[in-house]
Structure 1
């Protein structure tokens, strides 16, 4: 018995803007700041390697003083829509009936809702009454891969079952209008909103790339590096500037023992399916793997076209590879990083 990735789908919110269309709003937002600082901020947006981003709100709403409650209400309303759309699309691609799902994992860290998204999907999509549900809310950018790890372990223990991982994120709902810190500015420059859904199965007849193995790697004493502060104005980003360097220093321990535990080495990995956390992280990974003849062009392209959509982003990269229909026997390595600080890994084979 093995776990197969049967289908994958993505969904995007209604609003979108090219980066050059966002700049006038940024300039207006920065109007009262010192001119030299304004120029620096504009350069950050222009050099973020993000050409376009999607949003659950129009730019006018993003750059308007809204309360935490107002932003979170928009988050809840739009996350329900995106979750329903992306799950329905993935089910259609797999030719699965909604009530055939046995396990549903929903992933989001950019807003707060209780009941969680999965409860609404049971009603809106028509899932069966005894479906097992798991909301994942505090693993940030790593949670798309985390969700796949949880689904894989459920399916390993339950042959002949089906699972869905739905990641829906809206980082624009966390933008802090009165915060002119570099963390808030860099976050605004690199993040965008989006949703993705992966369907997995442990049925013998399932068709798709199989999961060879998975694992988590935790960085000791680095809980300060990434996360959110819960403030009166919403979720305020925590993003330490040392993240790329810290990742680079741990890369050998993250990659090589993990691959070796499944009888592989980096030379045998054909596809790097990496989460595009931001330009600096992408550059760090590229430097580490460029000498091995590996490329992360799909990771860079997803960042350029959508920005960092937190947990959903790596699934957009995975979709690009699945759509290319790699040859049988080719191996791919999924990797994402998130609060904790942690790295999440999944090894797949076509």
Structure 2
């Protein structure tokens, strides 16, 4: 494996902004009658740490029960626009052309596209006809870290290989109004839509070197997070035990993953975490024995965008970079499986 560097990073969101107060009002109208104790359960909106999020469609679109085809049509339209937007900006920052890309890794779990998004993007960005395409579905919230790790491995397989990594998630399209349960209530309080792109290349340059990556999947945890297939599309599976699980399991998991690189938790100057929710962020701080409030950028991203699934950790990386990355840092996220993913960085800028 060759040394791999991150040359650029770009993020983007849809144009439709939904405040948390408006999200609560919409949930009350759309699914409030499904819960006898809605007012008690609605405290999750106040406790989520979110002020605004961005969504694929104007709010009124969600007030009608949508078919799987309608949701897919929106996914193909909006997700492709976001893909092209963040990919183009990542290319600009790296001072590269689309023709310079040797492989494209695309991570998305909130919609189905066949041909996949990067193939559709070729009509708008002039990628080479021999570019390698690697679309990945099913990683959920862990996809930002796992996908970037895979892109780095592909880049590191040959000198000078340049890989574009893009992750796009439109979580809002999973809203259920007909058969809503508590998972839907929590998800409408937490999730937003967004996209991120990085360009990685074997060799020197960029703002950070990728030093290593690892994953850990726990047995018998398939019911913690994921999708279940329904007539109208994806139905969310979201276990309320996630914060407790993170508090109980993350330290050992992170220690095991770092050990594969000969590192310990104390070697990492900044953990860059996927903010799954306010309680999850606090649980990670506790598990890793970080100072209260240490994950400040995580809370800021959650406040401004909500949990966008896979792209979210890259929004945090963007803020950490703007504030000046320390010498060593580690991206980490939890996702369906139930799986933890970790990637270590060395600042080179």
> Could you state the TM-score of these two structures normalised by the residue count of structure 1?
0.94
- Give me the whole-angstrom Cα distance separating, in 2, the residues matched to 1:30 and 1:75: 23
Offset at residue 294 of structure 1 (A): 8.0
Unaligned 5+ segments in structure 2 are none
The corresponding residue for 2:98 is: 98
- Give me the whole-angstrom Cα distance separating, in 1, the residues matched to 2:86 and 2:137: 18
The corresponding residue for 1:331 is: 328
The corresponding residue for 1:318 is: 317
- Give me the whole-angstrom Cα distance separating, in 1, the residues matched to 2:292 and 2:160: 39
Quick one: structure 1 residues 7 and 187, their matched pair in 2 at CA, closer, same or farther if it must change by over 3 Å?
Answer: same
**Bigger mean CA offset, 66-75 vs 230-239:** 66-75
Per-residue CA deviation, residues 281-321 of structure 1 (Å, 9 max, x unaligned), is 11211222345688111111111110010111111111111
- Give me the whole-angstrom Cα distance separating, in 1, the residues matched to 2:48 and 2:317: 22
Per-residue CA deviation, residues 201-231 of structure 1 (Å, 9 max, x unaligned), is 1134x23210111011111121121110110
Quick one: structure 1 residues 292 and 54, their matched pair in 2 at CA, closer, same or farther if it must change by over 3 Å?
Answer: closer
Offset at residue 73 of structure 1 (A): 0.8
Do 1:5 and 1:198's aligned partners in 2 also have CA atoms closer than 8 Å?
yes
The corresponding residue for 2:280 is: 281
The corresponding residue for 2:18 is: 17
The corresponding residue for 1:251 is: 250
The corresponding residue for 1:84 is: 84
The structure 1 segments of at least 4 consecutive aligned residues displaced by more than 4 Å after TM superposition are 290-294
The corresponding residue for 2:190 is: 190
- Give me the whole-angstrom Cα distance separating, in 1, the residues matched to 2:125 and 2:272: 30
Matched, 1:7 2:4: no
- Give me the whole-angstrom Cα distance separating, in 2, the residues matched to 1:7 and 1:250: 32
- Give me the whole-angstrom Cα distance separating, in 2, the residues matched to 1:255 and 1:26: 36
Do 1:162 and 1:203's aligned partners in 2 also have CA atoms closer than 8 Å?
no
Q: How is 1:1-350 mapped onto 2 (pairs within 5 angstroms)? A: 1-30=2-31, 32-33=33-34, 37-204=37-204, 206-291=205-290, 295-326=294-325, 330-350=327-347
- Give me the whole-angstrom Cα distance separating, in 2, the residues matched to 1:60 and 1:97: 39
C-alpha root-mean-square deviation of aligned residues, in Å?
1.7
Per-residue CA deviation, residues 73-119 of structure 1 (Å, 9 max, x unaligned), is 11111101110011001111111111000110111111111111011
Quick one: structure 1 residues 336 and 104, their matched pair in 2 at CA, closer, same or farther if it must change by over 3 Å?
Answer: same
Quick one: structure 1 residues 66 and 90, their matched pair in 2 at CA, closer, same or farther if it must change by over 3 Å?
Answer: same
> Could you state the TM-score of these two structures normalised by the residue count of structure 2?
0.94
SS of the residue 2:261 aligns to:
coil
SS of the residue 2:229 aligns to:
strand
Offset at residue 233 of structure 1 (A): 1.5
Do 1:213 and 1:347's aligned partners in 2 also have CA atoms closer than 8 Å?
yes
Do 2:215 and 2:339's aligned partners in 1 also have CA atoms closer than 8 Å?
yes
Give the aligned length.
346
Per-residue CA deviation, residues 235-262 of structure 1 (Å, 9 max, x unaligned), is 0001122222223332233112322332
Unaligned 5+ segments in structure 1 are none
Do 2:243 and 2:280's aligned partners in 1 also have CA atoms closer than 8 Å?
yes
**Bigger mean CA offset, 145-154 vs 238-247:** 238-247
Per-residue CA deviation, residues 146-173 of structure 1 (Å, 9 max, x unaligned), is 1111111112211211111101100110
Offset at residue 30 of structure 1 (A): 4.0
Do 1:273 and 1:335's aligned partners in 2 also have CA atoms closer than 8 Å?
yes
